[in-house]
């Protein structure tokens, strides 16, 4: 498969490395100077591309950039893509980093806002796994305790394509519903970075309470920023699980 990835940070970089390892043709872009982008692409095993080129002649595009950066994309970047190209939003909105976006603050689902900015449908996926989990948490189908991710969106063909790819990357898949339902996997929800099996994730999505997640999200981030060292993957997952149980 031909894949374009916008962003080579922890999530975009982990996806790139693992997709290349599976034999996919991957090209990447970031905001660095061309020489630095070329070095990063070589490190990941991918090809460097400009922002305009990374979305051309591909089957799938991952967007893995800070949430606020999406509003800065050229307005025509995605509008001319063939409808069969699958676009995946892997990002999350964090006000302390992204500045406040009024529509999202007023309750608009994050990826619905993203789709409006891009002018085309998107899927929401890989946003509720830590980068370290994406990098090394995948396991073979049937492995006991296999971690699951949820895919939300309105195009069943696109969701199936991404589900197959996610399985290849080592994760079970749960249907997260429509794009409007993707608030159930946003930061602060029971489904967010809690590393659940498929049945557990299905229940976690159902347990999400409208309007509750932003407060939990901000409290968790506030606690992290007070720490002397950033928490490990295991610590983040344990804390998120405790929060949802009411233990923290």
For residue 219, the model assigns a pLDDT of 93
| Domain contains 213 | no
* CA separation for the pair 188, 65 (Å, rounded): 19
Distance (Å, rounded) from C-alpha 236 to C-alpha 167?
Answer: 24
pLDDT at 41: 98
Residue 33 counted as domain residue: no
On whether residue 27 sits in a domain, the answer given is no
Please, what are the averages of pLDDT over each run of 10 residues along the chain (248 residues)?
Answer: 97 98 98 96 98 97 96 91 96 93 95 96 98 98 98 98 98 98 97 98 97 93 90 94 76
- Domains: count for the chain: 1
Within 8 A by CB and 6+ apart from 199, the residues are: none
Domain extent for 92:
66-207
Q: Is residue 121 part of a domain?
A: yes
Residue 90 belongs to a domain: yes
Instruction: Give the length of the chain.
Output: 248
29 assigned to some structural domain: no
pLDDT at position 244 is 85
- Short-list 234, 18, 2, CA closest to 134: 18
Question: Looking at residue 79, what is its pLDDT?
Answer: 83
The pLDDT score that the predictor gives to residue 247 is 58
First CA to last CA across the chain, in angstroms?
Answer: 43
Is residue 195 a part of any domain in this protein? yes
Cα–Cα distances (Å) from 151 to 39, 124, 158, 238, in that order, read 32, 6, 10, 23
What's 203's domain CATH number? Answer: 3.40.50.720
pTM of this structure? 0.95
- Tell me how far apart the alpha carbons of residues 218 and 48 are, in angstroms, rounded to a whole number: 35
219 in any annotated domain: no
């Amino acid at each position: 498969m031909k894949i374009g990835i916008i962003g080579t940070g922890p999530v975009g970089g982990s996806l790139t490395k693992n997709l290349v390892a599976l034999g996919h043709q991957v090209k990447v872009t970031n905001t660095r100077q061309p020489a630095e982008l070329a070095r990063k692409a070589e490190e990941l095993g991918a090809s460097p591309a400009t922002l305009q080129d990374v979305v051309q002649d591909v089957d799938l595009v991952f967007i893995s950039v800070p949430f606020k950066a999406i509003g800065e994309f050229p307005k025509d970047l995605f509008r001319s893509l063939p409808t069969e190209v699958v676009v995946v939003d892997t990002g999350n909105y964090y006000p302390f980093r992204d500045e406040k976006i009024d529509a999202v603050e007023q309750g608009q689902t994050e990826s619905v806002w993203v789709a409006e900015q891009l002018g085309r449908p998107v899927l929401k996926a890989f946003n509720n796994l830590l980068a370290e989990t994406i990098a090394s948490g995948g396991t073979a189908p049937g492995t006991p305790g296999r971690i699951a991710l949820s895919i939300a969106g309105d195009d069943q063909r696109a969701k199936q394509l991404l589900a197959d790819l996610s399985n290849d990357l080592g994760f079970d898949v749960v249907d997260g519903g429509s794009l409007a339902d993707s608030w159930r996997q946003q930061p602060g929800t029971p489904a967010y970075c809690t590393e659940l099996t498929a049945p557990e994730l299905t229940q976690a999505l159902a347990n999400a309470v409208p309007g509750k997640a932003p407060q939990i999200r901000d409290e968790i981030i506030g606690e992290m920023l007070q720490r002397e060292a950033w928490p490990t993957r295991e610590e983040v997952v344990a804390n998120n699980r405790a929060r949802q149980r009411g233990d923290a």
